Amino acid sequence: MDKSMPDAVTLVEVGPRDGFQFEKSVVPTDRKLSVIARLVAAGLKQIQVASFVHPRKVPQMADADSLIRQLPLKDGVVYTALVLNRRGLDRAVASGIAAVEISLSASDAHSRKNAGMAHVDALDQGLRMIDQAISAGLHVRASVQCAFGCVDEGRIPAARIAGIVRRFVDHGVHVLALADTTGMGSPPLVEAVLDAVLPLAGRSPLALHLHDTRGLGLVNLMAALTYGVSIFDTALGGMGGCPFVAGAAGNIGTEDTAHLLERLGVHTGVDYRRVGAVSREMEAFFQKFFPGRMHRMTAFPPPPESI
């Protein structure tokens, strides 16, 4: 690979979906709308706002349909929703959302826990959902969960990941994504998977969804940057986690990631200080501390520049 760091990176804020749905206290719709509006004001251009799942299983997402109809519209801002099955996709289409993420696990064990079906069945369903979504005029991002390992199965062969990606590309997805659902990724593993996947991506941009379970989230981002990856999912305050992964931790924090990239001279357009104010507000709402770091630092005046 010709390794060179991109000049600009797109941060996809997933806190209102991945972050909120991991919490027990349900966020009222009006507060969600306020958070989303403030994230837009902070410079985030892509925000995943909901998932279309059964409201009894994930009460936090029960208002997905009404939330989407009330979203503040702004030029250049894209709202997305996660869908895991055909019923969820039907609801997404009816809601008027313009972009969806169709996600499935490369791990059979995780797929059975998360989606209630074997990996091969989830892949078959996912490909049919991609076709349906594209036919409905939606922008489709297809993602592979557990791309960097599974707590039950261990390391997932890169060839399996590549095979899934090849099928996604054949079905015409607009964006590809690899998710480190269990936070088992490491720089060598990230590089090995990217070596297998990037030659197959063609014109489809590749995004990474990194969790910080073992403290390597931003380290893995650095490894991916050298491969030219320029789209990363982040969550305000480092919120999030998978309920089907023991010891699950949150996503890489939006503030932490934007701060790191700023120090590297990589443009994001995100004001991490303004995002930090939202994170601190939501810490008070949930009555807990989020695992990120920079949102706490933004509560204080910035120190003088080092000599």
Q: Which residues are catalytic?
A: 242
**How would you classify the pairing of strands 231-234 and 10-13?**
parallel
Q: For residue 26, which phi and psi values (nearest 5 degrees)?
A: -75, 130
List Cα–Cα distances, 45 to 8, 39, 42, 231, 306, in angstroms: 13, 9, 9, 12, 31
List residues bridging with 32 in a β-sheet: none
What percent of the chain is helix, strand and coil (3-state, nearest 5)? Answer: 45, 20, 40
Q: What angle do CA 87, 88, 94 make, to 5 degrees?
A: 95
Q: Residue 170: which of 202, 198, 196 has the closest Cα?
A: 202
